[in-house]
Amino acid sequence: MFEIVHKRQLSEAVFEMGVRAPRVARKARAGQFFIMRTTDRGERVPFTFSDWSAEGGWIRFIFMRVGKTTHELSHFEVGDSVADVVGPLGIPTHVEDVGRIAVIGGGVGAAVAYPVARAMADAGNEVTVVLGARNEDLLILREEFEALPLKELLVVTDDGSAGEKGLVTAPLKRLAEAGEIDHAMAIGPAIMMKFCAATAKEHDVPCVVSLNPIMVDGTGMCGACRVSVGGETKFGCVDGPDFDGWEVDFEELMSRQRVYVDDERAADADYSRGCSCHQ
């Protein structure tokens, strides 16, 4: 069992959680993820590390309540335990001094962008972060990003309730057009990563994306997470989650993400009927 040692509600549907998992914490790197089961009969759900401490023996992650398991997890409190945590999984984000990089975090993808931006800055890069959300309430980790040694933090919301009004692709386009970045990394919903990669490509800026296909075992055995990259089949869990955004078949990714949508809705509706909270 893995004890919950930290919980913070960041917005109506977004939570930060810390779990005691010393062996996982010792090996975690930016861009990697783990698979959790809330109970011994629960489904396996992947989450990316947003932070960790090898000394403290804990890992942190940020999740959005989107369906049955994340709904159930949102009711776990400090002192409760989840059944298992397996990781770290996936290849860490490649971190080296590449020069000037834009790290784009959209929605809950900001949680993944945070350790990446920190590692890129620590490696000597000039890092500009573009932090995006649908509205101010859904904007997460702004203060944490502000505390990093960034070149600039650009905040964007769809409705203009915080920062610039619009989509994250607008500042990305400006940075690329002005020749102010050599690389980009985009983490967020598939549709956002698709347009970030396309915008970067128009300006000949390489763009890495962190993919989130449906995963089951996380070890390359089940094939659930297969994605097409440059015409080749890759497994998100062992070949990724980071891939060359120019080469990803995003249409296929998005259609595969929707395969179980009816079952997922039914499972959440069933769980919600027996749940005292209101979503």
Shortest distance (Å) from residue 104 CB to ligand FAD: 16
Asked if 176 touches ligand FAD (CB under 6 A), the answer is: no
Burial 118-131 (b: 16+ CB within 10 A, else e): bbbbeeebbbbbbb
Q: Which of residues 90-149 bind ligand FAD (CB under 6 A)?
A: 108, 111-112
Q: Which is nearer to ligand FAD, 197 or 225 (CB)?
A: 225
Q: Which pair of structure tokens corresponds to residue 117?
A: 């931006």
Query: Out of ligand FES, ligand FAD, none, which partner does residue 126 contact, by CB within 5 to 8 A per kind?
Result: none
Residue number closest to ligand FAD, CB atom:
67
Give the range of 39-47, 138-146, 178-186, 197-205 binding ligand FAD by CB under 6 A.
39-47
13 binds, among ligand FES, ligand FAD, none (CB under 5 to 8 A by kind): none
Smallest separation (angstroms) from ligand FES to the CB of 89:
9
CA-to-CA distance for 215 and 42, rounded, in angstroms? 14
268 binds ligand FAD (CB under 6 A): yes
Q: Which is nearer to ligand FAD, 47 or 195 (CB)?
A: 47
Nearest distance from residue 68's CB to ligand FAD, in Å? 4
| Contacts (Cβ under 8 Å, ≥6 apart) of 101 | 120, 125, 126, 127, 128, 181, 182, 183, 184, 185
Judged by beta carbon distances under 5 to 8 A according to partner kind, the member of ligand FES, ligand FAD, none in contact with residue 199 is none
User: Interface mask (CB under 6 A) for ligand FAD, residues 209-248, using x and -?
Assistant: ---xxxx-------------------------x-------
Query: What does 223 bind: ligand FES, ligand FAD, none (CB cut-off 5 to 8 Å by kind)?
Result: ligand FES
Closest CA to 105 of 229, 32, 209: 209
Q: Which of ligand FAD, ligand FES, none does residue 33 bind (CB under 5 to 8 Å by kind)?
A: ligand FAD
Q: Is 66 in the site for ligand FAD (CB under 6 A)?
A: yes
Tell me which of 68, 194, 234, 256 binds ligand FAD, using CB under 6 A.
68
Work out which of 16, 17, 20, 46 binds ligand FAD, going by CB under 6 A. Answer: 46
